[in-house]
Amino acid sequence: MNTHAPLSIYIHWPYCKSKCPYCDFFKTVKKDVNQKEIINGYIEELKFYHDLVPEHNIRSVFFGGGTPSLIEPQYIELLLNEIANLWSFENLPEISLEANPNSEYPDMFKQLRKAGINRLSLGVQALNDADLKFLGRTHNLNQALHSIDEVTKNFNNHSIDLIYARPSQTLTEWEKELQQATSFGLKHLSLYQLTIEEGTVFAKKGIKSLDDEQASKMYQYTVDYLRDNGYPRYEVSNFASKTYQSRHNKCYWLGDDYIGIGTSAHGRLKIGNKHYAFVHPHLQEELSDNERAEELLLMGLRLEEGINKQHFYNICGLELDNFINVEALQQLSQLGFIENTPTSLKATDQGFLVLDYIISKLCP
């Protein structure tokens, strides 16, 4: 029996053909780049991390961005082969890629599947042309619907992203979009509330988010509707049955080891009994047990299942009940925001509506 620790790999492709006005991620608007040179650099990064953690098994690989569907499939296959040469893959690993609906060539999704991708996440964002234009997307609704059809034909595991709580959006309008989203036969839905981040085009234009009360109503409706239609919430913004939960993203929320490849990518590794944060290019910082515990609390409470106390201890060596603010825990429990059992700590339905507040109170 192989007992090597699981490892996930995030590969960041920072290039886009255009930048969306709500986006605050690191990315570069550049149409022509030397892909071969960049991929060769990624391979050197993989070798660097292999020297640090050679005995791990790869649980998942995630191509994110930016727009990683701009990577030529031959280079995706090259990277996956290199990963297979350096480490062993777990049985049936999850290999995900984010794509935009306006594909570069007619058979893009078929080529991505042939290159080794087995989970496709499609950045749809809205299901009407007016809001797609408002969000700065370069595809229209017909292109989105066509791509959803192609994705479901070519992959057994698939997801779409949608953004809700758009300015002036009504609950009735969002209800219709949710009904349409659940009609596609997708395995997974990622639904993100629009927030106006400092420095984005939207912020500079003075565009305001939907008011908190209306956004909360939309969120609660979303959770209830999707739970009743086969997409239970498993993380604050992600909905799927247990079989199709994103194994890669759960690695972040559970606090398991992962490495980041590419500009602005970061990672977390436990080497021996020490915790390290890595950022590009190969800069590392040792984290204390308390710092790692704070990260585990911040990420773990995003999950519907909450934080498993034994898993928390196994990673950071601290007892969760001794780490958190006990007085705040009692108050939050009395308010009905938190459920605390001998084995786990989790947010309630009401707690998910004020999750940032809960975390701020529980951190010592």
Strand 274-279 to 266-271 pairing:
antiparallel
Question: Which range is least confidently modeled, 16-20, 43-47, 50-54?
Answer: 16-20
Please answer whether residues 65 and 30 qualify as being in contact, where contact means their C-beta atoms are separated by less than 8 angstroms. no
The reply to whether 290-364 shares the fold of 6-249 is no
Q: Is pLDDT above 70 for 158?
A: yes
Q: What is the CA radius of gyration of the chain?
A: 21
Does 2.102.10.10 match the CATH number of domain 6-249? no
Among 62, 213, 27, smallest CA distance to 136 is for 27
Strand 188-193 to 238-240 pairing:
antiparallel
Torsion angles phi and psi, residue 178, rounded to 5: -65, -40
Is 135 in a helix, a strand, or coil? coil
What is the DSSP-derived secondary structure letter of residue 337?
Answer: S
**pLDDT band with cut points at 50, 70 and 90 for residue 30:** low
Is 177 in a helix, a strand, or coil? helix
Question: Which range is least confidently modeled, 24-28, 64-68, 71-75, 247-251?
Answer: 24-28
pLDDT at 310: 98
Burial degree of 285 (CB within 10 A; 0-12, 13-18, 19+): exposed
Spatial distance between the Cα atoms of 281 and 266, rounded to a whole number of angstroms: 9
**pLDDT band with cut points at 50, 70 and 90 for residue 22:** low
**pLDDT band with cut points at 50, 70 and 90 for residue 198:** confident
Cβ neighbours of 189 (radius 10 Å) = 21
Spatial distance between the Cα atoms of 358 and 364, rounded to a whole number of angstroms: 12
Across the chain, mean pLDDT equals 93
**Between 195 and 161, where is the model more confident?**
161
pLDDT (average), residues 27-35: 73
Q: pLDDT of 228-276, one tens digit each?
A: 999 999 999 999 999 999 999 999 999 999 999 998 899 999 999 999 9
pLDDT at 163: 96
pLDDT at 32: 78
pLDDT at 19: 64
Q: Any idea which fold 290-364 has?
A: Arc Repressor Mutant, subunit A (1.10.10)
Q: What predicted TM-score, i.e. pTM, was given to this entire model? A: 0.94
Burial degree of 238 (CB within 10 A; 0-12, 13-18, 19+): buried
Q: Is pLDDT above 80 for 321?
A: yes
All structural domains of the chain with their residue ranges? 6-249, 290-364
